[in-house]
């Protein structure tokens, strides 16, 4: 019986010739991730272990991104607690304010995760790195603590669902529309503890940023992970974002410092869906679940109070470029708050050089330093009672971004920017020319 991409990666990590769905394995880890919310909990758990210290200071990433720059005394304490731990054990990949970014944008940008890796993170959107052909998944803080200490984690090998993507997306259709369409189709538990594997000739029309967005939100369908095959776009991204350690490895061996796995032709998939990207319309997820989707054609006169463009889902440079293209020469609607958050310092710098920041400010938006901020109701955009927000983030649960009676509508950067101009949820194609 053949194996899926995920199963092949896990077999290698477990030192086995093969694995099958439902099998329990112990796997070696290539990276363990935690942030300023989950990291301190993991570190406290490690105090109960017989072993002191970490398994490999180069294979742990600690990113203060959720409430950093510190929003209050408690968040300052959490960041300091993690910072002290990083300094005590000489953790290579601790990124202070000024170097940090939103974790799931930062790690690929820094080349800390590559194809074939097995990665866990104490954050549910760790599944982002499946866009690179890696197995990555979110875990609890206790599992992350064990991972940081031992370099190992146990898994139940997931079964898989295959999504065959065909056709070419129309203008304004992005990875966010693709994944919202899929979640609307299968539901928030439609891929429960299964691997979502994306294939098909439509992949050539999806940028790496599109793929990061799709893999990022696999968890919103209940998936264990999302994963893409490694193609020319992936290789180009990997080779241009190698970490210093990976560059040194490549120079020493003359080989690519990553492993490309392909699903077997007879790999078993519990379900297969075929999606023609050319038929998709800009899609919005209504409160209070990501599966509650509508296309822009089904939405009429829905006024909003705030727009957020950013997060680990849609804060990359292509996302800001899409928003800037719409906001250029236009103004934010009266009475509307628009908050734009570059995902990393590098993205911020690229946006500055491209003139996007000027465009945003001239349009009437504000621009924040990289942070998760409002996505989880942290800060930099909390919603009051009854307020509505169009956001490029990944979750719209009750109270996710503020008051329990507030509402979050998930959308692409293009839809979010268009809505910022009109003050209501708007199809980008419906805007009059400037």
Other C-beta atoms lying within 10 Å of the C-beta of residue 10: 25
Contact 142, 57 (CB under 8 A): no
Residues 390, 77: Cα–Cα separation, whole Å: 32
Q: What is the pLDDT of residue 390?
A: 97
Say how far residue 126 (Cα) sits from the centre of its chain: 7
Secondary structure (3-state) at 311: helix
Q: Which residues of 146-174 are buried (b: 16+ CB within 10 A; e: fewer)?
A: bbbbbbbbebebbbbbbbbbbbebeebbb
Structure tokens that stand for 234 in this block: 């992936």
Q: What is the CA radius of gyration of the chain?
A: 21
* Distance from the Cα of residue 153 to its chain's centroid: 22
What pLDDT shows up at residue 426? Answer: 95
pLDDT at 183: 97
Domain 5-274 falls under CATH 3.30.499.10: yes
Give 104-163 pLDDT, tens digit per residue.
Answer: 999 999 999 999 999 999 999 999 999 999 999 999 999 999 999 999 999 999 999 999
Q: Which helix (H) or strand (E) holds 27?
A: strand 24-28
Domain ranges (residues) in the chain: 5-274, 282-430
* pLDDT of 432: 87
Question: What residues form DSSP beta bridges with 309?
Answer: 340
- Name the 3-class secondary structure at 271: strand
Using 50 as the pLDDT threshold, list the residues of the chain that sit under it: none
The CA distance from 75 to 81, in Å, is 10
- What's the token pair of residue 53? 């210290």
Contact 59, 153 (CB under 8 A): no
Strand partners, 26: 154
CA 153, CA 130: separation in Å to the nearest integer? 18
- Contact (Cβ atoms closer than 8 angstroms) between residue 73 and residue 103: no
Classify residue 155 as left (phi > 0), alpha (psi -120 to 50) or beta.
Answer: beta
Say yes or no: do domains 5-274 and 282-430 share a fold. yes
For residues 124 and 112, give the distance between their C-alpha atoms in angstroms, rounded to a whole number. Answer: 18
317 vs 347: CA distance, rounded Å: 5
Domain 282-430 in CATH 1.10.645.10? The answer is no
C-alpha–C-alpha distance, residues 297 and 342, integer Å: 29
Give the number of other CB atoms < 10 A from CB of residue 50.
5
User: Token match 């919005």: residue?
Assistant: 284
pTM to 2 decimal places: 0.95
* DSSP 8-state code for residue 407: E
Q: Which residues pair with 267 in a beta bridge?
A: 2
d(CA 246, CA 253): 11
């Amino acid at each position: 019986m053949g194996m899926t991409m995920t199963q092949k990666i896990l077999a290698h990590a477990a030192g086995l010739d093969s694995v099958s769905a439902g099998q329990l394995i112990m796997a070696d880890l290539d990276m363990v991730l935690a942030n300023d919310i989950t990291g301190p909990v993991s570190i406290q758990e490690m105090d109960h272990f017989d072993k002191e210290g970490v398994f490999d200071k180069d294979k742990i990433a600690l990113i203060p991104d959720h409430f950093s720059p510190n929003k209050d005394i408690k968040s300052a304490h959490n960041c300091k607690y993690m910072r002290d731990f990083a300094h005590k054990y000489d953790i290579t990949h601790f990124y202070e304010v000024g170097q940090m970014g939103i974790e799931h944008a930062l790690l690929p940008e820094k080349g800390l995760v590559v194809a074939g890796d097995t990665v866990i993170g104490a954050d549910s959107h760790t599944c982002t790195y499946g866009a690179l052909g890696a197995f990555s998944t979110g875990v609890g803080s206790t599992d992350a603590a064990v991972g940081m200490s031992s370099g190992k984690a146990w898994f139940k090998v997931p079964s898989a669902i295959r999504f065959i993507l065909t056709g070419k997306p129309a203008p304004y259709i992005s990875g966010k529309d693709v994944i919202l369409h899929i979640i609307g189709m299968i539901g928030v538990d439609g891929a429960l503890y299964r691997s979502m594997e994306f294939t098909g000739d439509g992949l050539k029309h999806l940028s790496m940023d599109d793929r990061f967005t799709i893999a990022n939100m696999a968890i919103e369908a209940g998936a264990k992970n999302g994963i893409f095959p490694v193609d020319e776009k992936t290789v180009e991204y990997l080779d241009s974002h190698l970490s210093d350690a990976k560059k040194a490895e490549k120079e020493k061996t003359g080989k690519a410092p990553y492993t490309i796995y392909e699903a077997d032709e007879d790999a078993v998939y519990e379900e297969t869906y075929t999606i023609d990207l050319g038929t998709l319309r800009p899609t919005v997820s209504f409160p209070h679940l990501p599966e509650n989707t509508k296309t822009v054609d089904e939405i009429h006169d829905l006024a909003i109070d705030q727009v957020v463009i950013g997060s680990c889902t849609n804060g990359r440079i292509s996302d800001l470029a899409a928003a800037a293209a719409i906001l250029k020469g236009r103004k934010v609607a009266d009475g509307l708050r628009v908050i734009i958050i570059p995902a990393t310092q590098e993205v911020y710098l690229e946006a500055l050089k491209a003139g996007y920041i000027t465009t945003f400010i001239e349009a009437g938006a504000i621009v924040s330093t990289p942070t998760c901020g409002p996505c989880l109701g942290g800060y930099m955009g909390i919603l009051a009672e009854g307020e509505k927000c169009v956001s490029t983030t990944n979750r719209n649960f009750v109270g996710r971004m503020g008051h329990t009676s507030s509402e979050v509508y998930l959308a692409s950067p293009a839809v979010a920017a268009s809505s910022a101009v009109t003050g209501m949820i708007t199809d980008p194609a419906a805007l009059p020319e400037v």
